């Protein structure tokens, strides 16, 4: 007897097993049972912590960074980047599942990489955005990290542009299409803007006749699948895509619209619906 408990001894494969009436003193494979219990409890606690973290992450609002540019020399009421994104901010601000931040990004954007690393998606509406994206290595790497996190990319009008061809490949790898290079094509015209097929972004949007500046014959990414056309216009008897959605190979999403040259078009319900639904789709919300 030991401490009121009976102790039995047995030998198994040359190893002495101590079998004690108190289970906390039992030994298994040379390790006290209380140590096994503690490990099990710690493992269970770790699993519960991971599950809780996943649930909290799923419920957390998506962090959307609206990136505007300063005036670029166009006439008033065109290329109104700050004013346009202010309207988009108003369209999204009542949503509980989106957290918004608007910034004006100059060519030198010192805190840009940090802001991008803290975002789940971006909207780019500034001058020569395609060139701007890869103008600084730290900025480009931060955009790549956002894509690796399945981040959402939205680009509007001249935000998809570059006068030179060099930035085209990088830009299309993230955003899908690009208005770039010396052979880029655009036109100001009155035309019928028509949805193509069915997609969550164009849900509820009917064909409209509108006068705008549209970019077309946009440069394509090197990888497949190709972006899906969302809206088309007629140019010299040929249908031309001016908006797209792209399920990227990295499982993220990108959306673009080459209209919105004129600031007044932010008042069109079709444009508002298109951009709002496009942004939410890239964030993988509501579809």
Distance CA 264, CA 195 (A): 21
Arithmetic mean of pLDDT, 87-106: 97
Same domain, 31 and 162: no
Q: Are residues 265 and 231 in the same domain?
A: yes
My answer on whether omega of the bond before 8 falls inside 30° of 0, hence cis, is no
Q: How many CB atoms lie within 10 A of CB 201?
A: 27
Task: Verify that 47 and 117 share a domain, yes or no.
Answer: no
Indicate whether 210 and 271 sit together in one domain.
Answer: yes
Confidence of residue 61 (pLDDT cuts 50, 70, 90): very high
Q: Are residues 148 and 232 in the same domain?
A: yes
Cα–Cα separations (whole angstroms), residue 272 to 2, 57, 252, 277? 82, 29, 23, 8
Domain of residue 163 covers 66-282
Q: Are residues 50 and 108 in the same domain?
A: no
DSSP one-letter string for 219-263: BPPSSSSPPEEEEEEEETTEEEEEEEEEE-TTS-EEEEE----BG
* 61 within domain boundaries: no
| pLDDT given at position 29 | 56
What average pLDDT does the segment 15-22 reach? 45
- For residues 246 and 120, membership in a common domain is answered with yes
Distance CA 15, CA 258 (A): 77
The pLDDT value given to residue 37: 60
Q: Is the pLDDT score of 281 beyond 80?
A: yes
* pLDDT, averaged across the chain: 87
**Are 31 and 173 within one domain?**
no
> Tens digits of per-residue pLDDT, 124-180?
999 999 999 999 999 999 999 999 999 999 999 999 999 999 999 999 999 999 999
pLDDT at 72: 96
Is 268 buried (19+), middle (13-18) or exposed (0-12) by CB count in 10 A?
A: middle
278, two tokens: 């496009």
Cα 204 from Cα 215, distance rounded (Å): 24
Is 66's pLDDT higher than 60?
yes
Does residue 113 share a domain with residue 48?
no
Number of domains composing the chain: 2
Asked whether residue 98 falls in the same domain as residue 11, the answer is: no
For the record, the structure tokens of 180 come out as 């770039």
Q: pLDDT at position 106, please?
A: 86
pLDDT at res. 190 = 97
State the pLDDT at residue 68: 98
The label of the residue with tokens 């390790």 reads: 31
Average pLDDT (62-77) is 97
- What residues have CB less than 8 Å from 23, skipping those under 6 apart? 33
**286: Cα separation from own chain's centroid:** 14
């Amino acid at each position: 007897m030991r401490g009121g408990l009976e102790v039995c001894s047995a030998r198994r494969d040359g190893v002495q097993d101590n079998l004690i009436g108190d289970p906390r003193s039992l030994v298994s494979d040379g390790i006290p049972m209380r140590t096994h219990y503690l490990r099990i409890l710690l493992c269970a606690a770790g699993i519960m912590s991971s599950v809780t973290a996943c649930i909290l992450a799923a419920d957390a609002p998506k962090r959307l960074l609206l990136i505007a540019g300063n005036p670029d020399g166009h006439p008033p009421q065109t290329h109104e980047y700050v004013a346009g994104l202010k309207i988009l901010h108003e369209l999204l601000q009542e949503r509980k599942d989106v957290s918004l931040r608007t910034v004006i990004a100059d060519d030198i954007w010192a805190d840009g990489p940090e802001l991008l690393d803290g975002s789940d998606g971006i909207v780019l509406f500034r001058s020569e955005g395609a060139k701007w994206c890869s103008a600084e290595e730290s900025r480009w790497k931060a955009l790549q990290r956002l894509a690796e996190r399945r981040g959402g990319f939205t680009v509007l009008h001249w935000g998809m542009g570059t006068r030179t061809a060099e930035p085209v490949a990088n830009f299309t790898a993230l955003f899908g299409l690009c208005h770039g290079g010396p052979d880029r094509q655009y036109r100001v015209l009155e035309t019928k803007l028509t949805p193509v097929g069915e997609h969550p972004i164009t849900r509820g949007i009917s064909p409209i006749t509108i006068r705008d500046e549209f970019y077309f014959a946009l440069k394509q990414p090197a990888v497949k699948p190709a972006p899906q056309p969302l809206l088309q216009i007629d140019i010299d008897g040929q249908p031309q895509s001016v908006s797209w959605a792209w399920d990227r190979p990295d499982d993220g999403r990108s959306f673009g619209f080459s209209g919105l040259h004129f600031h007044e078009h932010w008042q069109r319900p079709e444009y508002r619906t298109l951009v709002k639904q496009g942004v939410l789709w890239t964030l993988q919300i509501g579809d």
